[in-house]
Chain A
Amino acid sequence: MWRPGRPSVEGNVIEKFSTGIEGLDQLTDGGFLRGSAYIIQGPPGAGKTILANQFCYAHVREGGRALYMTLLAESSSRMLAYVSQMGFFEGSALPDAMQYISGYGVLEREGLPGLLKLVQHELKRHRASAMVLDGTFVAQSVASEQEFRAFIHALQGVAGMADAVLVMLTHQNRDSSCPEHTMVDGWIELSDETNGFRAYRTIQVRKHRGAAILPGKHRVRITEDGIAVFPRAETTLEAIPAAQALAHRVASGHQGLDTLLQGGLPAGSATLLIGPTGAGKTTLGLHFLSLSTEQEPGLMLGFYETPARLVQKARSIAIDLDTPLEQGALEIAWLPPAENIVDELVRDIVRRARARKVKRVFVDGLVAIRDSLVIRDRMAYVINALSMQLSAIGATVVYTSEIPEMRLDDALMPSDELSAMVDNVLLLNTGRRAHAFRRYLSIIKLRDSDFDPRTHEFHVNGRGIAFGADPRVNASGEAG
């Protein structure tokens, strides 16, 4: 039922109750501390009620007892009817381990002292180890600031005495200097935000006494399964074990390229294939994946081409993805390039890779990841975090990213952002020279390694990528 939390000064361990939301447990270093009081604040519709209910049912599933007291005039049975449709709802918890009651009448008749007595009495009556007080702002509206402060202080004492977690929900947008925020043990803020036409939800742990938190805002998704919280990928890096230093090379899937790379891609490294559309980036990625085996499983995440289309494309140029797919050595995942939550995507890629001990990862289309980010400045941090997490499990990663066509004599130096994102950069460029469309490959950067610095022309034929000019055109561009 409990998981070990931080040790207290005396060496005791304070129990933590899971919030029932994996990502929120990560943000709060394991969940709510027993005997503590928390405020969850956010505008109507931000997900407070769902979060609180999800916590209660998770708590009950772990063997605890929960009580949901509303101070709102609205019927909690309507709320319960809605909650009962959600994946976390557990009908068998009612009415024994989980109960809903209203404190509105008592608050109206007897004010804050009556409500305090009621909370105390009901915690005892239900033997609840978790309690939600929904609509705390109503309590504030019937009292002075001083009375409300005393009430919050007393509530915290009641939670401590009952050894229960007390979660107070409020939609008021009160700032950090408000007394209730200084008094409670934790303060979590849910928000609805917009960026242009996009609307998105966030969560921020503003305070969690005595526990390390993942600071800042993190994305939230509400589905029929409840609330999901996705910690920003770059804030979870501390949890990554140091990657083993891998000295060996990993075949790129193309012998000629391996020669230019002096043996292949450094194992555990991240490579960015950049170039304009049609330059052959995806084709090179498919070469890389075609070497997926049971010993070296592969994973692809694509955004623009469906798995069926990719396999067809590979077949048309004699790149064999069918064999690794049939052997279960290759998984192709596909997501439409819509408004994805990038941190969810990073989490899922890493999970999939970890589950199958993947050694080859190909992510086709960093543009789709960048476009999903609300704050695009995060791009380098996110990709760096993803690469580090994949590297930690021994995977070598290849990304593609589209850039406009460049003139061949344009200097391309890895920018600071590119350097931060990946270990290796390969430019696949296109150009029209002597009346023909041509493709060129240059290695821009290779981690701690020497490499062939020349630009090499290549073409794509029935067997994939081949170095040299397309034999169908001669040097002058006329049909050969």
Chain B
Amino acid sequence: MLRVLLVEDEPDVSLVAATVLEEAGYHVTVASDGHEGLEIALQEMPELVVTDFMMPCLSGLEMIERLRAAGYDRPIILTTAIPEDHLPRHPGYDAYLAKPYGTRALLTLVEAFRVQLGR
């Protein structure tokens, strides 16, 4: 079972996304800000991270930067309402998902990484 870390400060998005991923057979751990996400990611080393950008304590990009610096080399999906062309270049994430997103779009993207990871 592919382990996914979902980092999201908006409770309704977090609830819906986690439920959908779990129903699709993924093992989901939830963090509600970048700081918590960083801790869990380094501790549990999930196969995939899905993270929001704008969050309290530590933003998604700051979290990604620290994860990459700590050697985390697995795929990361960044979800944000900010248009991708407004995001910094070489930000360390592997895919971008515009918010608000539909559950099908999320599942398709996560599924694509599952296939890529050979799981």
Judged by a CB distance under 8 angstroms, whether A73 is at the interface is yes
> In whole Å, how far is B110's beta carbon from the nearest beta carbon of chain A?
18
> In whole Å, how far is B87's beta carbon from the nearest beta carbon of chain A?
7
Judged by a CB distance under 8 angstroms, whether B83 is at the interface is yes
A69 CB contacts on chain B under 8 angstroms: 56
Which A residues between 232 and 266 are near B, CB-CB below 8 angstroms? none
| Interface size of A in residues (CB-CB distance below 8 Å) | 27
Judged by a CB distance under 8 angstroms, whether A106 is at the interface is yes
> In whole Å, how far is A347's beta carbon from the nearest beta carbon of chain B?
35
Given pairs A75-B100, A121-B57, 16 additional interface contacts (CB within 8 A): A73-B12, A75-B99, A76-B81, A77-B81, A77-B99, A84-B81, A91-B83, A95-B61, A95-B87, A101-B9, A101-B55, A102-B11, A102-B56, A104-B9, A106-B32, A118-B56
Judged by a CB distance under 8 angstroms, whether A81 is at the interface is yes
| B49-85 Cβ-contact flags toward A at 8 Å (1 or 0) | 0000111110101000000000000000000111100
Pick the contact of B12 from A75, A81, A91, A94 — CB < 8 Å?
Answer: A75
Judged by a CB distance under 8 angstroms, whether B13 is at the interface is yes
Query: Are A75 and B54 also in contact (CB < 8 A) when A94-B82, A95-B86 are?
Result: no
Judged by a CB distance under 8 angstroms, whether A103 is at the interface is yes
Max count, chain B CB within 10 A of own CB: residue among A106, A108, A121: A106
CA distance A94 to B88 in the complex (A): 11
Query: Are A99 and B54 also in contact (CB < 8 A) when A94-B82, A94-B86, A105-B9 are?
Result: yes
> In whole Å, how far is B116's beta carbon from the nearest beta carbon of chain A?
26
**CB-based contact A78/B56 at 8 Å:** no
> In whole Å, how far is B62's beta carbon from the nearest beta carbon of chain A?
10
Judged by a CB distance under 8 angstroms, whether A449 is at the interface is no
CA distance A118 to B56 in the complex (A): 8
Judged by a CB distance under 8 angstroms, whether A2 is at the interface is no
Q: Is the interface of A mostly helix, strand, loop or mixed?
A: helix
Judged by a CB distance under 8 angstroms, whether A296 is at the interface is no
CA distance A125 to B57 in the complex (A): 8
Q: 6 closest Cβ contacts across the A-B interface?
A: A77-B99, A105-B32, A77-B81, A102-B9, A80-B81, A94-B82
Which B residues between 19 and 53 are near A, CB-CB below 8 angstroms? 32-33, 53
Pick the contact of A100 from B12, B54, B83, B86 — CB < 8 Å?
Answer: B54
Judged by a CB distance under 8 angstroms, whether B10 is at the interface is yes
**CB-based contact B59/A95 at 8 Å:** yes
B99 CB contacts on chain A under 8 angstroms: 75, 77, 80-81
Spell out A's residues near B (CB within 8 Å).
69, 73-78, 80-81, 84, 91-92, 94-95, 99-106, 108, 118, 121-122, 125
CA distance A91 to B98 in the complex (A): 14
B59 CB contacts on chain A under 8 angstroms: 95, 99
**CB-based contact A104/B11 at 8 Å:** yes
CA distance A103 to B61 in the complex (A): 19
B82 CB contacts on chain A under 8 angstroms: 91, 94-95
Query: Are A104 and B10 also in contact (CB < 8 A) when A77-B81, A77-B100, A95-B87 are?
Result: yes
**CB-based contact B56/A122 at 8 Å:** yes
**CB-based contact B11/A95 at 8 Å:** no
CA distance A78 to B9 in the complex (A): 14
**CB-based contact B11/A108 at 8 Å:** yes
CA distance A95 to B80 in the complex (A): 10
CA distance A70 to B68 in the complex (A): 29
B54 CB contacts on chain A under 8 angstroms: 95, 99-101
In chain B, what residue has the closest Cβ to A92?
A: B86
In chain B, what residue has the closest Cβ to A78?
A: B100
Query: Are A73 and B11 also in contact (CB < 8 A) when A101-B54, A118-B56, A122-B56 are?
Result: yes
> In whole Å, how far is B15's beta carbon from the nearest beta carbon of chain A?
9
In chain A, what residue has the closest Cβ to B62?
A: A125
**CB-based contact B53/A95 at 8 Å:** yes
A100 CB contacts on chain B under 8 angstroms: 54, 81
CA distance A100 to B60 in the complex (A): 12
Pick the contact of A106 from B12, B56, B87 — CB < 8 Å?
Answer: B56
Max count, chain B CB within 10 A of own CB: residue among A84, A94, A102: A102
CA distance A103 to B9 in the complex (A): 8
CA distance A99 to B86 in the complex (A): 13
> In whole Å, how far is B119's beta carbon from the nearest beta carbon of chain A?
29
A108 CB contacts on chain B under 8 angstroms: 11
CA distance A102 to B11 in the complex (A): 8
B33 CB contacts on chain A under 8 angstroms: 105
- Can you list 11 pairs linking A and B with CB atoms under 8 Å apart? A73-B12, A75-B12, A76-B81, A101-B9, A101-B55, A102-B56, A104-B11, A105-B32, A106-B56, A121-B56, A122-B56
B32 CB contacts on chain A under 8 angstroms: 105-106
> In whole Å, how far is A68's beta carbon from the nearest beta carbon of chain B?
9
CA distance A312 to B49 in the complex (A): 71
> In whole Å, how far is A93's beta carbon from the nearest beta carbon of chain B?
9
A78 CB contacts on chain B under 8 angstroms: 100
> In whole Å, how far is A61's beta carbon from the nearest beta carbon of chain B?
16
> In whole Å, how far is A100's beta carbon from the nearest beta carbon of chain B?
5
In chain A, what residue has the closest Cβ to B60?
A: A95
In chain A, what residue has the closest Cβ to B57?
A: A121
A94 CB contacts on chain B under 8 angstroms: 81-83, 86
A103 CB contacts on chain B under 8 angstroms: 56
In chain A, what residue has the closest Cβ to B85?
A: A91
**CB-based contact A81/B81 at 8 Å:** yes
In chain A, what residue has the closest Cβ to B14?
A: A105
